A and B are shown apart, each in its own frame.
Chain A
Amino acid sequence: MSTTATIDHAPGAPAEPQINYLNARYGVRSWLLTLDHKRIGLLYLGTITVMFVVGGIAATMMRLNLLEPQGALVEPETYNKLFSTHGIVMVFFFLVPSIPATLGNFLIPLMIGARDVAFPKLNLLSWYIFATACCLMLYVVATGGVDTGWTFYTPYSSLHSHTDVFLAAMAVFIGGFSSILTGMNFVVTIHKMRAPGMTWFRLPLFIWAMYATSLIFVLATPVIAVTMFLLMLERVLHVGIFDPALGGDPLLFQHMFWFYSHPAVYIMILPSMGVISELITAFSRKKIFGYSFIAFSSLAIAVISFLVWGHHMFVSGQSVYAGLVFSVLSFLVAIPSAVKVFNWTATLYKGSISYEAPMLYALGFIGLFTIGGLTGLFLASLATDVHLNGTYFIVAHFHYIMVGGAVMALMGGLHFWWPKITGRLYPDLWARFAALVIFIGFNLTFFPQFILGYLGMPRRYAMYPAEFQALNVLSSAGASVLAVGYVIPVIYLIWSLRNGPIAGPNPWGAKGLEWTTQSPPLTENFVKTPIVTEEAYNYETAPEPEVARV
């Protein structure tokens, strides 16, 4: 770090632009009333970081408790609230908005050569709605928490739980509107605001992924809103919808819940896939392999994701025939994901590959997503799902997708576009070290859980039979490594805000319109509307990387 000053003032080093979106206006009001998509993206980034910390603390306490079979730390009642808080906060208030609302907001206009999103005021409104929902959820956590699990299964949630299910459901309900508005905004923006020459098949694949995600936002989110609304109705007014004691049907809730929540899995992973396409091409300096296959596989995933919800219910008592249909459709959704993995791998072929931190995250993503995806086959397959459903195998599988996939991609994307967002570079050595720590910690945490699951340990257990202890201790040890891995970037990224070397417009020598403007960009993004004359990822015409190792 002592070399910072010399790099900062090295002859020929890029100078910080005089005016940019960060220093154009000052003061709290200028942030809270901003209509700039870049600033709104940062507001989201701050909000989801707070929520990630809350969900992460809950996870840490869970892992501590599971060090001992009888529970090392808390009572079962508290443990139940911890995993519910962890799930609700991480899914609805971190993962769903994570990449779309932060990187998506920041990058979509920049990548398509637009001045802003189509509806800037709506964009700010959606952040306020989201922030309100977050505050409500934090209030619920602070005043005693909720113990239904993130799945809110009825009739436990509607009539039996003694915790504040109503407000928690309300928080999810409200948060959904921010997803719908963001999705709508992105769809219109991508349709109507592309720069001259930016045809659909010249779009970066991140945009295709965000487009597919936005479709799911708009089409699926209303269903979770309806579901949460009905749940609140039954809980408060005892209208018989889900509880058989009132004449309702408990499986109806599961159908409605998963009709949103399975597509929501793809809300969380599709944007990550978009990020990975950008990173792989930038650090192998090569055109993406099979552009149209990756683009259309995003849309295929978005469509099929609406037809597979029943695979969460193979042992719920739904009919054997429903099980067969949902099983075959679940296998179908695996194919486009496999196609993406193969295309990314093929992109590396004959590339000129370097290993800066974002690339390490991208390669880590491919590996973990591959394992996460393949273990999904165990759960799409009926006979094995009967045994694995509701066990730690499921927990491991979706954490490989959600943390190994979505969070790795968010970290990779954040490191890749950090110089664009802040105009500064972070110490790459530290960043690569953190990426490695996260990768090791992640695998140590979640791999043992696959084995625990096949051994039959059910999820959501505050206590467990002693024979499962060794693997649980291993998993908890991994979680502490993972936690350290997440703390390191916070430190050097904050450090870089003031002390990082000036990045210049395009430190990686990457393609894409966002790299043609200054860093940090002007409030207006571009001095002059860019005109696009080539396909995406045409690295033959890319500038040399100028990033200096710190």
Chain B
Amino acid sequence: MMGLTQFALNSMAALWAGLPLMPPAASSIAESVDHLYYFLTGITVFFSVLIFSIIFYFMIKYRRRPGQKTEPETHTSMFLELSWTIIPSIICVVIFVWSSALFVRNARPPANAREIFVIGKQWMWQIQHPEGPREIDALHVPVGEAIKLTMTSQDVIHGFYIPAFRVKKDVLPGRYTSVWFKADQTGVYHLFCSQYCGTNHSEMIGWVYVMSPTDYAAWLSAGEQSESLAQQGARLFTQLGCDTCHTGAASSTGPSLAGIYGKPEKMATGGTRVVDDTFLREAILTPSTIHVAGFAQIMPTFTGQVNEEQLLQLIAYVKSLQPQERTNGQ
């Protein structure tokens, strides 16, 4: 008898282990998202149980009996109508404020976040670390450090999703989107594509490796030493002949690129635009849409000559230029 009970308990425990209810929580925001989730689950259970109980109670209490005549009753009540309009409204306001505050906070990466680049393509994730290492369907990150991913797609829309971090963002062709997180538990976690992208969508998955800072440093420097993204960009800058116009001299045909990243630039059409990844991308691919004040709009388009990876290298290079540096690519 004892054995049987033990067996039943063990089976139930095994079943329970096979039926997890919550994913691992391994980022700085995971817990706060889970709290909101618990609250919403509580609201759902409360109102479902309330409605179900009332219905069951009425079903039994007011079941039809032979010869029974329904008594004339009230069929409208302003008090009730107002209460069941206003109370749910108040609950909704609470949820809205709570979740929006969390969302806005989670939307903005901290200024000191480490940047890593992601290119989605059918059907793999290509990860590019600024220090040089490149990986496919795997992302190595240090624990406890804010990581900002700048992402783009080479073909269709993909979705970058790490359930354990409670973060997700669509990855679009032709533009950059970004997502950030701070992993707070070392371990290995799922990386999924969450936006249907064609035949092998369900195989566009990978792993996120959260490592201690020392392990991460060791990982970065292991393997064959490659150039950093900015160095590769510098080489490309010369190869493509960018440096013939963007010489960095005051008299050059194109504006100097030294120190412009993150700064506002005056546009010929009036107003200013901050130079960011999107700005540089447009300037390289569709220069006709970007006309910097004081310069003739003569830059040719590089659409078709540079791929997504090379674009990221060029951007990394421009970003690396300090104000005093000359931009002759060397």
Contacts and interface: CB of A to CB of B under 8 A. Distances in A.
Interface residues of B, number: 84
Given A352-B64, A389-B194, A454-B23, A250 B174 contact: yes
A435 B8 CA distance: 33
B96 A327 contact: yes
A262 interface: no
Contact of B168 (A328, A377, A387): A387
Given A286-B70, A317-B172, A371-B44, A363 B55 contact: yes
A382 B103 contact: yes
A33 interface: no
14 contacts: A147-B199, A156-B156, A244-B172, A250-B172, A290-B75, A293-B76, A327-B100, A331-B96, A351-B58, A378-B40, A387-B37, A459-B196, A460-B201, A470-B18
A353 B64 contact: yes
A287 B75 contact: yes
Interface in A389-422: 389-391
A353 B62 contact: yes
B308 to A, nearest CB: 12
Given A245-B174, A348-B62, A382-B103, A458 B81 contact: no
Given A80-B196, A353-B63, A371-B44, 18 more contacts: A289-B77, A293-B81, A315-B168, A316-B172, A320-B103, A320-B107, A345-B58, A350-B62, A352-B68, A363-B55, A367-B55, A381-B96, A383-B36, A384-B40, A454-B37, A455-B21, A459-B196, A460-B201
Contacts of A338: 84-85, 88
Nearest to A456: B163
A286 B73 contact: yes
A353 B60 CA distance: 9
A328 B100 CA distance: 9
Interface centre among A147, A149, A331, A363 (most CB of B within 10 A): A331
A386 B95 contact: no
B200 to A, nearest CB: 6
B133 interface: no
B250 interface: no
Contacts of A467: 20
A354 B192 CA distance: 50
A244 B175 contact: yes
B198 A156 contact: yes
B106 interface: yes
Contacts of B168: 315, 386-387, 389-390
Nearest to A324: B100
Interface stretch (B46-54, B137-145, B213-221): B46-54
B241 to A, nearest CB: 24
B169 A341 contact: no
A175 interface: no
Give the most central of B98, B200, B201: most A CB within 10 Å: B201
Given A76-B201, A391-B194, A454-B23, A366 B55 contact: yes
A374 interface: yes
A378 B37 contact: yes
A389 B93 CA distance: 21
A290 B81 contact: yes
A339 B81 contact: yes
Contact of B59 (A149, A348, A386): A348
Contacts of B33: 383-384, 386-387
Interface string B172-186: 111101000000000
Contacts of B23: 454-456
A455 B75 CA distance: 44
Given A285-B70, A315-B168, A465 B190 contact: yes
B161 interface: yes
A369 to B, nearest CB: 10
Interface string A224-259: 000000000000000000011100001100000000
B203 interface: yes
A97 to B, nearest CB: 26
Interface in A94-126: none
Interface string B138-160: 00000000000000000111010
Contacts of A384: 33, 36-37, 40, 99
Contacts of B100: 324, 327, 382-383
Interface string A481-501: 000000000000000000000
Nearest to A334: B92
B125 to A, nearest CB: 14
B196 A460 contact: yes
Given A155-B173, A378-B37, A349 B201 contact: no
Given A349-B58, A381-B36, A454-B22, A331 B72 contact: no
Nearest to A249: B174
Nearest to B104: A320
The listed residue with most A CB atoms (<10 A of its CB), out of B43, B107, B170, is B170
B204 to A, nearest CB: 10
B157 A381 contact: no
B170 A317 contact: yes
B280 interface: no
A471 B89 contact: no
A375 B42 CA distance: 11
B202 A462 contact: yes
A145 B140 CA distance: 39
B195 interface: yes
Contacts of A289: 75-77
B36 A458 contact: no
Interface in A35-63: none
A323 B72 contact: no
A382 B102 contact: yes
